[in-house]
Amino acid sequence: MPSVDQLDAFVAAAEQGSFSAAARKLRKAQSAISNAISNLEIESGVDLFDRSSRNPVLTSHGIALLKSARAVLHSHQDYLACASSLTAGAETQLCVAIEQSIATAQVLPLLIEFEKRYPHIEFELLDPGPNDVAELIRQGRADIGLMMEQEHYPQGFKFRGIGHARVIPVCSADHPLARLGPVSHGDLRGYRQLVTRSLNLDDDSHIQQILSPKIWYAESPYAVAELVGAGLGWSLLHESVVAQELAHGKLVKLELAYQQVAALQGVDVVWTEKRALGTGGQWLLEQLFQLNISQG
């Protein structure tokens, strides 16, 4: 099997145009480069260079094998870099769960920087529904989560607030509620409410937002927004979820007669002390702490 030194010599000679230039680049004697390439040709069973002129020229076989040689060298370098990363304490995989109602725009620059710093960590991004982030963390399915704050977290959880999101009442532009002006509790109770609910049926945190006796549920806030847009009811949704529909006039924000200031809900970073993070996860966690998320 060709050695790394042989492939290094072959690629360097092809790129530099001569064995002497390749020797200078690799800081080796020219004879070492020449012998490495000769041995590679013997092992490969083909001539890689035509040596009939002053400077060696790649043969058709050499041209065909150059790409493969570069790929092998790249894999070798990637292996060494990955081993170095593991020696430094980086994990091999990291999973982050971001609740669907939280816009990822402010998180994306951190993920770009994370990829540059830890290119060998296999990264997974989940977008669960309301309050399902905590369950994913508890199960060990996710390592770090971003979610709307909840009153109580499971034992062993850690959390830190990093901002807030605005919750607003919306309906379609042609819904009867849209023509009422300031709406009362009684007005809202007269029409179907669309509510986001966790997949975990033991989670009853959605109950506190229910005002109407007529309810439809969905896990995804974006699915709820589509149902609201179709005129099937009204809903309390985070402003970031419906910003585009509001801008296009498909949905309208309801003015509440009983509440002058829109409700704010905190955004938390959550993780668990039961699952140790490597250097990559610790770096990302510290960067998330520095965010100041303000949605709406």
- Whole-model pTM over 0.85: no
What are the Cα distances from residue 282, in Å, to 126, 134, 156, 278, 286?
18, 19, 17, 6, 6
pLDDT tens digits, residue range 142-158? 999 999 888 777 777 88
pLDDT at 170 over 80: yes
Q: Three-state SS for 223?
A: helix
Q: Angle 143-145-149 (CA atoms, 0-180°, nearest 5)?
A: 145
Whole-angstrom distance, CA of residue 18 vs CA of residue 15: 8
Whole-angstrom distance, CA of residue 150 vs CA of residue 291: 19
Query: What's the rounded mean pLDDT across residues 202-221?
Result: 87
Whole-angstrom distance, CA of residue 34 vs CA of residue 21: 12
Q: Three-state SS for 289?
A: helix
Whole-angstrom distance, CA of residue 159 vs CA of residue 33: 58
- Decide yes or no: CATH 3.30.70.890 for domain 93-162+266-295: no
Domain ranges of the chain: 4-87, 93-162+266-295, 166-264
According to DSSP, the residues that pair with 94 across neighbouring strands are: 123
Instruction: Tell me what percent of the chain is helix, strand and coil, each rounded to the nearest 5.
Output: 40, 25, 35
The CATH code for residues 166-264 is 3.40.190.290
User: What pLDDT sits at residue 89?
Assistant: 61
Same fold, 4-87 and 166-264: no
pLDDT tens digits, residue range 240-275? 899 999 999 999 999 988 765 557 888 999 998 777
pLDDT at 206 over 80: no
Whole-angstrom distance, CA of residue 252 vs CA of residue 48: 70
Q: What is the chain's mean pLDDT, rounded?
A: 87
Which option is the CATH number for 4-87: 1.20.1260.10, 1.10.540.10, 1.10.10.10, 3.40.50.1980? 1.10.10.10
Structure tokens at 147: 């979610």
Chain centroid, CA 248 distance in Å: 28
Lowest-confidence region among 75-79, 84-88, 150-154: 84-88
More confident call, 232 vs 275? 232
Radius of gyration in angstroms for the set of CA atoms belonging to the chain, rounded to a whole number: 30
What are the Cα distances from residue 272, in Å, to 108, 276, 283, 292?
23, 8, 15, 21
Query: What's the rounded mean pLDDT across residues 23-35?
Result: 89
Whole-angstrom distance, CA of residue 65 vs CA of residue 14: 11
Asked if residue 255 lies in contact with residue 183, where contact means CB atoms within 8 angstroms, the answer is yes
For the chain, helix (H) and strand (E) counts, in that order, are 10, 12
Asked if residue 118 lies in contact with residue 283, where contact means CB atoms within 8 angstroms, the answer is yes
